[in-house]
Chain A
Amino acid sequence: MKSFLRLTSLLFLVSISLPTSAIDFGGFGFGGLESEEEGNSIDIGEIFDGIKDISRTITGIDEEAEIEIGRDAAAVLLGASKPVNDPDLQRYVNKVGRWVVNQTSRPHLPWRFAVLSSDHVNAFATPGGNIFITDGLLRTLNGEAELAAVLAHEVAHVIQKHHIKAMSSLNTSGLSGVLKLAGQTSSGQSNQLTTAMVGQVKDMYLRGLDKDDEFEADRMGVVIASRAGYDPFALVAVLQTLDSINPEDSSLALLYKTHPPASDRLDRLDPALAQFEDSIDESPLLEKRFNTYVARRP
């Protein structure tokens, strides 16, 4: 029995150390589309092949290039909103975020977390591990598990390289076009982003990611946060809170332009939660430090 458990542990370790492509496109991403492909018109088949090509290329993107593109994207987002000037808060969010990313297959990335001084309700990730949450969203959260849930959703986008995929589909030359833009940035004057690269980044964040990638990040985020010991249902609580805010509220405008409605996300997430149903996870709730750094701020 013991050796069986060791074996399953070993298998588990092997499975999490596999390239993300195994999770991304092997199981449920494009594999499903592929099987439905038969019997469809040739055009649709070609489109699917095109998507698969992009996917395959992205999976093989050099990590250095991924990080460089992500830094460019992060610089653009920071041009729109600055980090909140509260070192204790920023450090705290980095600790929660670091604990979360250590439960993924990519803990070695240069992860940076920051609270942005925006009243909008939103969160962003950029390739290579920059994660931003707005103060507006942070203030709607109840407890550290909900913070971890939001961060884990963004972390999932990074693990799966969703933004690289989105940028590649916006660029007429696909990934090679994006890499070319990124290369121009780094070979030009130091720290000067080219106008074209800035435009590409803005286009992506204004348009948002593929809706299915959002649903996938919800599902993966729940698992990542649960691995870290947090309540699996915290993301549901966050989405329910968002769902309860009037969608006409201007602070939600960009979020809803770029994400499916919270009610759709709840519906899609529901089946994935069944396995956690009776696991009332008695994890420590860390109320004190959440209150100290987040809730009891002026």
Chain B
Amino acid sequence: MEKIFYFLILICVTPQLFATDKAAVISRDTELFSKPFKDAETITELSTQTAIIILKRKGGWYQIKTDTKEGWVRLTHVRLARKNKAQQDPDNNVGEILSGLATGREKSDQATTATAVKGLSEEELRNAEPDVDALNALDNFAVNENFDNESGLQTHKIDYLAGDGPEIKKTTPNEEDEL
């Protein structure tokens, strides 16, 4: 019953969350797949610097469109178009190139005024006087170790990864039922 409940939550929540419509470019030659799986049918090859629009993210995949095609590419083979955080309307060259394609703009709440950046600059850190009262006040919001998570998140057993080289350890498969 519980599982059905979370499944329903999932269904309701999934489609909206990563709806982004962001301008981006392909950062290395890659394949455009029909579905977000590496064994899925390849629609076409996309070369580096191809301008794209990201429609949404699903795990390690972006659903994207080019000026003629739509499909899925690996998340790590994409680079978002650069923008100025300070500007309400992002400085977005790729967006201009693809102006006919762009269906949305960046979230407006990402815009802040650069002139008023406060707190934790190099200078403010240099001049900081230790604030022990603020430190002690953090206790008010602490959550203890026996916290029963209310989120429905399922834990997994996964080993740490060994370095950057080819020697990457495999994940331990999910064996929750066996514990």
Contact = CB atoms under 8 A, between A and B. Distances in A.
Contacts of B175: 5, 8-9
Contact of A80 (B125, B163, B164, B165): B125
Main secondary structure of the interface of A (DSSP, over half): helix
Contacts of A295: 109
A226 B125 CA distance: 33
B69 interface: no
A11 B71 CA distance: 41
Nearest to A74: B135
A34 interface: no
Contacts of B140: 87, 90
25 contacts: A5-B175, A12-B159, A71-B135, A72-B130, A79-B130, A80-B124, A81-B124, A87-B140, A95-B150, A108-B145, A112-B138, A118-B118, A119-B118, A223-B159, A233-B75, A246-B82, A246-B86, A254-B122, A271-B168, A273-B76, A277-B60, A277-B74, A280-B61, A282-B14, A285-B13
A268 B139 CA distance: 36
Nearest to A139: B109
Contact of A120 (B117, B132, B179): B117
Interface in A93-122: 93-95, 97-99, 102-103, 107-108, 110-114, 116-122
A291 to B, nearest CB: 10
B154 to A, nearest CB: 5
B131 interface: yes
A249 interface: yes
B99 interface: no
Contacts of A93: 141
Which of B60, B171, B172, B175 is the most central at the interface, judged by chain A CB atoms within 10 Å of its CB?
Answer: B60
A224 B165 CA distance: 20
B122 A277 contact: no
Interface stretch (A39-47, A163-171, A236-244): A236-244
B160 A98 contact: no
Interface residues on A, range: 35 or more
Given A9-B178, A240-B79, A286 B114 contact: no
A120 B6 contact: no
Interface of B: 6, 9-10, 13-14, 16-18, 20, 36-38, 57-61, 74-76, 78-86, 91, 109-110, 112, 114, 116-122, 124-132, 134-135, 137-145, 147, 149-166, 168, 170-172, 175, 178-179
Given A275-B171, A283-B153, A287-B16, A78 B125 contact: no
A287 B17 contact: yes
A251 B128 contact: no
Contact of B79 (A79, A243, A275): A243
A202 B81 CA distance: 34
A120 B121 contact: yes
A205 interface: yes
Contacts of B117: 119-120, 136, 250-251
A51 interface: no
B6 to A, nearest CB: 5
A220 B160 contact: yes
Name the 3 nearest CB pairs between A and B, nearest first. Answer: A118-B119, A229-B153, A79-B128
A63 interface: no
Nearest to B11: A282
